[in-house]
Amino acid sequence: MKVVMAKKAGFCMGVRRAVQLAIRASYEAEKPVYTYGPLIHNEQALKLLEMLGVKTLKEIPKKAHGTIIIRAHGVPPEDKKRLKEAGFKVLDGTCPRVAYVQALARKYSRQGYQVIIVGDPDHAEVKGILGYAGGKGLVVSSFKDLERLPPLKNYVVLSQTTQDEELFELLAQEILARFPGGKVYRTICRATHDRQREVRRLAKECDAIVVVGGKHSANTKRLALIAREEGKEVFLVETADELDLEKLKKYRKVGVTAGASTPNWVINQVVRTLEELPSPYEAAFWRVGRKVLRFLFESNLALALGAASLSGAVLWAAGFPWQWPLVLMISLFLFAAHTVNRLVDLKSLRLNDPFRARFLEKNRKIFSLLTAATYLLALGISLSYGVPVFWLLLFLVLTSIVYSLPIFGRNDHFSPVQRIPGARSLFIALGWWAAMILLPAFVFSYQPVLNWLGGLVFIIAFMRAVFLELLELQGDGFVGKETLPVFLGKEKTFWVLKGMWFLLGLLVLGGLVSGAFPPPYAALFLVVAYVYFVLHQYEKELLGRNFYLEVLAEGLPIITALSLLVAEGGNRLVSKR
């Protein structure tokens, strides 16, 4: 089935900030940790926070201790005061956009203005804003409410940040028409504006719309309402399990959007479920091909193929004789190292890629035995190259196991190494470098060109790892995994990737200028161009495009291998002339 993902969907800035605050508090703040009311309107995210020890408090006790987080929707100022007086350390998770509306309500109420709030009177955000209006606030949610307004002279009109734009404009204009001279602040947040605009665009392009989000989320329900007003059948679901697959089968193209408090993994699971849905409009060839491709990635065979192609190309470019057992040994080691890490790390994988997690859980015994056999086979091959090669590979095998397994008496599912911020991508890059550069140097002999090839392998392996970590950013954050994107944030991580891309260009250029690479190695600029393309694709919204982006990331070693083969092939042709 053709699935079109909204360009703007999922966690907005305010929700992301509140969730990150709660996750950080679960590890660092004084225990116990609570949120005052539901932090956000999404049951799946709240259950995960509860697993981290963050519980929801509905009533303010007289005496308490620990840490409490103000929900993203905000609370009245008197509630915040009571929480502090009770003994809590208060962390304010109020969305900055909501805080801005609260500040306007306080400012104008103190100046004697009547504060008119366009929104849902039962919504937590509106109740919080009313608290800052100091008894001078009135809520309007429909034209019927306008009839109950008292005569207004000095007044200001504000909006709930997730209000429908068109309804707000109509109500605000009607209020101004009845009571001229008022001030109007359009306080609907940008995220709400973008999501509502996107759902209207999707409705024009698609046959049906799936809206993913909490049933109690005002902005989610509003997205569904807008899609219905556009004349489309709407499927409002909290998870992929609620999709009506029989009804959805009849559509050629389905649009997917999500509320501002919907986690990425929930959205990705919905998109994946829809994409797997058999459709009479899709050729069986493409459906089967997609399943085969997904199997290659879920089983890590695609990774092994990339490792084999790159290691073989490095051997050829270094001038070493072709040794297929050596290439097999390297790819077997990297396959096993990555697979054991996946098998141990199923907790975060269930969030980031539920389908792959189910696949590995279902075949866990098979992959555990396969991983052990692969390690042993690689070590067996290494013995044919001599004792030093065997000891080096054994060291790499033990290092990969120590990295993956929670040892030294830890009671969580991470090893101490994984607690080092950004360690994962660095260790992966070092592992690829050791396998593809150090092992061949032990088997044959050191060649100066290995310095340049080693830099190339390290940069490609590092960027591949970070690209894949970006796809798992939200789930890793929830389980406390200290990957580079979790530690730095998405924007700063992209700057790191751009820096590595620049270094890659310098490496190729420097190799050509210094003579370490002969002129035909200018073909490596194809790798530089490909990395730029992948960066550009990743900088777009990531939601719903995980598999496509994963294919691009796993293509890095293969494109690099092909470029090396072309470069060295050209060099050997030139040398024969």
**Same domain membership, residue 201 and residue 327:** no
3-class secondary structure per residue, 438-453: HHHHHHCCCCCHHHHH
Percent of the chain past pLDDT 90, that is, above it, reads 53
**Does any domain span residue 3?**
no
Q: Is 134 left (phi over 0), alpha (psi -120 to 50) or beta?
A: left
> What phi and psi values does residue 155 have, to the nearest 5 degrees?
-150, 160
Label residue 408 by pLDDT band (50, 70, 90): very low
pLDDT value at position 109? 94
Q: Is 491 exposed, middle or buried (0-12, 13-18, 19+ CB in 10 A)?
A: exposed
**Segment 302-353, tens digit of pLDDT:** 999 999 999 999 999 998 988 899 999 999 999 999 999 888 877 777 777 7
5 domain-assigned? no
Residues 360-383 have pLDDT tens digits of: 889 999 999 999 999 999 999 999
Do 230 and 158 lie in one domain? The reply is no
Confidence of residue 414 (pLDDT cuts 50, 70, 90): low
The answer on 345 and 481 residing in a single domain is yes
Residue 555 and residue 530 in contact, taking contact as beta carbons nearer than 8 Å: yes
Q: Looking at residue 282, which CATH number applies to its domain?
A: 3.40.1010.20
Residue of 477, 464, 486 whose CA lies nearest to 538:
464
- What value does the mean pLDDT take over residues 30-58? 87
Query: What values do phi and psi take at 34, rounded to 5?
Result: -130, 165
Mean pLDDT of 213-225: 86
Q: Which residue has the higher pLDDT, 51 or 306?
A: 306
Q: What is the arithmetic mean of pLDDT over 271-291?
A: 79
Separation between Cα atoms, residue 43 and residue 312, nearest integer Å: 49
Q: Does 276 fall in a domain?
A: yes
What digits encode the pLDDT tens for the residues 20-30?
Answer: 899 888 888 88
End position of a domain, from candidates 252, 272, 290: 290
Residues 90 and 103 in one domain: no
| Domain stops at, among 273, 290, 307 | 290
CATH number for the domain spanning 81: value is 3.40.50.11270
Domain that residue 324 falls in:
291-576
Say if 6 falls within a structural domain.
Answer: no
Whether residues 327 and 436 fall in one domain: yes
Predicted local distance difference test score (pLDDT) of residue 303: 95
Indicate if the pLDDT at residue 117 is higher than 90. yes
Q: Do 267 and 298 belong together in one domain?
A: no
| Range 57-61 contact pairs with CB under 8 angstroms and sequence separation of 24 or more | 60/36, 60/86, 61/86
pLDDT at 178: 93
pLDDT reading at 7 higher than 90: no
Q: What is the pLDDT of residue 116?
A: 95
Q: Report yes or no on 568 lying in a domain.
A: yes
Residues contacting 157, CB < 8 A, separation 6+: 116, 118, 172, 175, 176, 182, 183, 184, 185
CATH number of the domain at 385, please: 1.10.600
pLDDT tens-digit readout, 89-104: 999 999 999 999 999 9
Domain count, the chain: 4
Least confident among 3-7, 411-415, 550-554: 411-415
For residue range 140-151, list pLDDT tens digits in order.
999 999 988 999
Q: Are residues 362 and 482 in the same domain?
A: yes
Out of 426-430, 503-507, 521-525, 540-544, pick the least confident: 540-544
Q: Label each residue of 59-110 as H, E or C.
A: CCCCCCCCEEEECCCCCCHHHHHHHHHHCCEEEECCCHHHHHHHHHHHHHHH
Instruction: Give, as one character, the DSSP assignment of residue 300.
Output: T
Specify if 426 maps to a domain: yes
Q: How confident is the model at residue 418 (pLDDT cuts 50, 70, 90)?
A: low
Provide the pLDDT for residue 259.
Answer: 87
Residue ending a domain, among 188, 214, 249, is 188
Does 568 lie in the same domain as 442? Answer: yes
Of 434-443, 475-484, 499-508, minimum mean pLDDT range = 475-484
Q: Is 50 exceeded by the pLDDT of residue 534?
A: yes
Catalytic residues: 125
Residue 443 confidence (pLDDT): 92
Q: Which of 218, 212, 208 is nearest to 265 (CA)?
A: 212
In a domain, 569, yes or no: yes
Calculate the average pLDDT of the chain.
88
Separation of alpha carbons 8 and 191, rounded Å:
8
Residue 481 domain flag = yes
| One domain for residues 26 and 135 | no
Q: What does the pLDDT read at residue 480? A: 67
**151 lies in the same domain as 218:** no
Residues 71 and 174 in one domain: no
Calculate mean pLDDT across residues 204-232: 90
Are residues 497 and 453 both part of a single domain?
A: yes
In angstroms, the CA 542 to CA 470 distance is 9
